[in-house]
Amino acid sequence: MKIAQVAPLVESVPPKLYGGTERIVAYLIEELMRQGHDVTLFGSGDSTASTELVPCSERALRHDHRVQDALPYHLAMLDKVHRRADTFDILHFHISLLHFPMFRDMAHKSVTTLHGRLDLPDLPAFHASFPEIPLVSISNEQRRWLPGPLNWVGTVHHGLPLDLLRFTSKPAGNYLAFLGRVSPEKGLDRAIAIAAKAGLPLMIAAKIDAVDQAYWEQVLRPLIRAHRDVEFIGEISEPQKSDFLGNARTLLFPIDWPEPFGIVMIEAMACGTPVIAYRCGSVPEVVENGISGFVVRDMEEAVAAVHIVHGLNRADVRRAFERRFTAERMARDYVSIYERLVRHRVPVSRVFAERTGAAAIA
């Protein structure tokens, strides 16, 4: 098939540092090409995915100090996609909801993966206006926040290349790891408290967005300074993750929000490092309790899990990753959805109208 992948312009594909959606798009592209498909990427001009690139900004918008508003760049990108839409079998969007009005008439050949949180109050009314648009969730938990007869065509968990991260059977360190983004919902303050109560060092690799700068300055930086066994190392690159995660006793994922997926959990699992995560959002779908980590309800359970997590078999953790979260499996799941869309060869709106209250393509 000829497939267009339409990525956010905030980061390159793949991103140089942090960037969950763009990273997944990159892995999906590489695997689709390996499986014989013709893929075109609409993304930032500094993207390096090994496929045809239609540059829609000079470089990733987050790293361009001249950019004050991302919207014009994304709208210009959608115009480029629209002009070339007839040359593709499938248009796969990863940009939330911006494209819905422009591509309503192409719903029969498009699919949208919703990567973000869906528990926001303004989203249900918007999506109810576009019930024919084929949607993919990245966890079953994610979609429950959007009630109504929407056109869910599948849930596809994220996946990573098998050889992306190195398996470590015997970690060199005995620290707890936190990897991700500095923000209240990610639970870094909880991670610091867990480490302190467990009596173990915590290493933090995280980026700080401008929107979270005040939270960092007023809450987290003083908290880190108050704990001598807590080290903040900042944002790390992909090659650094194998050592950072692989040498940790466990990854702490004490979130406080309905996380749609949480890529860092499967990154840790790929290294053989078990995950201790709060029971929020997709966590119970990703972490197999007692196999790839522990799903906990509160601070007390988290601290208790830290003291027994070394008893988990790291080879079993890696096998859990290989069984469920590879890029190959992810691409196969998406290809199955693409094929079902192509097979119908009629506008999804017509199919959807005939099947009240059900997904148009199940």
Please give the share of the chain, as a percent, with pLDDT higher than 90. 85
pLDDT over 50 (residue 162): yes
- Superfamily of structural domain 2-161+328-353: Glycogen Phosphorylase B; (3.40.50.2000)
Segments of the chain assigned to CATH 3.40.50.2000: 2-161+328-353, 176-324
Tell me the pLDDT band of 16, cut-offs 50, 70 and 90.
confident
Return mean pLDDT, the chain.
92
Domain 176-324 has CATH 1.10.620.20: no
pLDDT for the residue 345:
62
pLDDT over 80 (residue 254): yes
**Separation between Cα atoms, residue 330 and residue 284, nearest integer Å:** 19
Q: Within a 10 A sphere around the Cβ of 217, how many other Cβ atoms? A: 11
The residue with tokens 């979270």 is: 212
pLDDT for the residue 209:
84
pLDDT for the residue 348:
47
pLDDT for the residue 148:
77
Terminal CA-to-CA distance of the chain, rounded, Å?
20
Dihedral (CA of 275, 277, 279, 285) sign: negative
- Residue 92 β-bridge partners: 5, 111
